[in-house]
Protein backbone atom coordinates (compact mmCIF):
# COMPACT_ATOMS: atom_id res chain seq x y z
CA UNK A 1 0.00 0.00 0.00
CA UNK A 2 2.85 2.36 0.85
CA UNK A 3 4.51 1.65 -2.49
CA UNK A 4 1.31 2.42 -4.37
CA UNK A 5 0.99 5.74 -2.52
CA UNK A 6 4.64 6.53 -3.24
CA UNK A 7 4.21 5.79 -6.93
CA UNK A 8 1.02 7.87 -7.11
CA UNK A 9 2.71 10.77 -5.31
CA UNK A 10 5.69 10.63 -7.69
CA UNK A 11 3.37 10.48 -10.70
CA UNK A 12 1.57 13.58 -9.44
CA UNK A 13 4.88 15.39 -8.90
CA UNK A 14 5.99 14.48 -12.42
CA UNK A 15 2.67 15.62 -13.88
CA UNK A 16 3.05 18.97 -12.08
CA UNK A 17 6.62 19.34 -13.34
CA UNK A 18 5.52 18.54 -16.87
CA UNK A 19 2.75 21.14 -16.64
CA UNK A 20 5.26 23.77 -15.44
CA UNK A 21 7.68 22.87 -18.25
CA UNK A 22 4.91 23.12 -20.85
CA UNK A 23 3.86 26.51 -19.45
CA UNK A 24 7.47 27.72 -19.62
CA UNK A 25 7.79 26.47 -23.20
CA UNK A 26 4.66 28.40 -24.17
CA UNK A 27 6.03 31.51 -22.47
CA UNK A 28 9.34 31.20 -24.34
CA UNK A 29 7.53 30.70 -27.65
CA UNK A 30 5.40 33.79 -27.01
CA UNK A 31 8.50 35.85 -26.19
CA UNK A 32 10.28 34.60 -29.32
CA UNK A 33 7.24 35.48 -31.43
CA UNK A 34 7.12 38.97 -29.92
CA UNK A 35 10.84 39.45 -30.54
CA UNK A 36 10.45 38.39 -34.18
CA UNK A 37 7.52 40.77 -34.60
CA UNK A 38 9.60 43.64 -33.18
CA UNK A 39 12.44 42.72 -35.52
CA UNK A 40 10.14 42.70 -38.53
CA UNK A 41 8.72 46.12 -37.75
CA UNK A 42 10.42 48.66 -39.98
CA UNK A 43 11.44 52.06 -38.68
CA UNK A 44 11.14 55.02 -41.00
CA UNK A 45 13.88 57.62 -41.23
CA UNK A 46 14.40 60.73 -43.28
CA UNK A 47 17.63 60.53 -45.24
CA UNK A 48 19.06 63.38 -47.27
CA UNK A 49 21.50 62.38 -49.99
CA UNK A 50 23.43 64.29 -52.60
CA UNK A 51 21.91 63.80 -56.06
CA UNK A 52 25.10 62.18 -57.35
CA UNK A 53 25.08 59.64 -54.51
CA UNK A 54 21.38 58.97 -55.12
CA UNK A 55 22.10 58.28 -58.80
CA UNK A 56 24.95 55.89 -57.98
CA UNK A 57 22.79 54.05 -55.46
CA UNK A 58 19.96 53.86 -57.99
CA UNK A 59 22.27 52.31 -60.59
CA UNK A 60 23.69 49.86 -58.08
CA UNK A 61 20.22 48.93 -56.83
CA UNK A 62 19.08 48.34 -60.41
CA UNK A 63 22.06 46.05 -61.04
CA UNK A 64 21.19 44.06 -57.90
CA UNK A 65 17.45 44.02 -58.76
CA UNK A 66 16.59 45.94 -55.61
CA UNK A 67 14.74 49.13 -54.87
CA UNK A 68 16.90 52.03 -53.73
CA UNK A 69 15.42 51.69 -50.25
CA UNK A 70 16.28 47.98 -50.14
CA UNK A 71 19.77 48.70 -51.43
CA UNK A 72 20.40 51.25 -48.68
CA UNK A 73 19.05 48.84 -46.06
CA UNK A 74 21.26 46.05 -47.44
CA UNK A 75 24.36 48.25 -47.37
CA UNK A 76 23.69 49.43 -43.83
CA UNK A 77 23.11 45.85 -42.64
CA UNK A 78 26.39 44.75 -44.26
CA UNK A 79 28.27 47.58 -42.55
CA UNK A 80 26.79 46.68 -39.16
CA UNK A 81 27.62 42.99 -39.71
CA UNK A 82 31.24 43.83 -40.61
CA UNK A 83 31.58 46.19 -37.66
CA UNK A 84 30.47 43.45 -35.24
CA UNK A 85 33.28 41.15 -36.42
Q: Determine the topology of domain 44-85 in CATH.
A: Arc Repressor Mutant (1.10.1220)
pLDDT value at residue 85: 86
Asked if 54 and 68 count as a contact pair (C-beta separation under 8 A), the reply is yes
pLDDT value at residue 50: 96
pLDDT at 4 exceeding the cut of 90: no
pLDDT digits (tens, 9 = 90+) for 12-61: 999 999 999 999 999 999 999 988 888 788 888 899 999 999 999 999 99
In this prediction the pTM is 0.52
Which pLDDT band, with edges at 50, 70 and 90, does 1 fall under?
confident
Distance CA 81, CA 3 (A): 60
Amino acid sequence: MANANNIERKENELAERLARIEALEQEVEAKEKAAKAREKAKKQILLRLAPSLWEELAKWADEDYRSINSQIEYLLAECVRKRKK
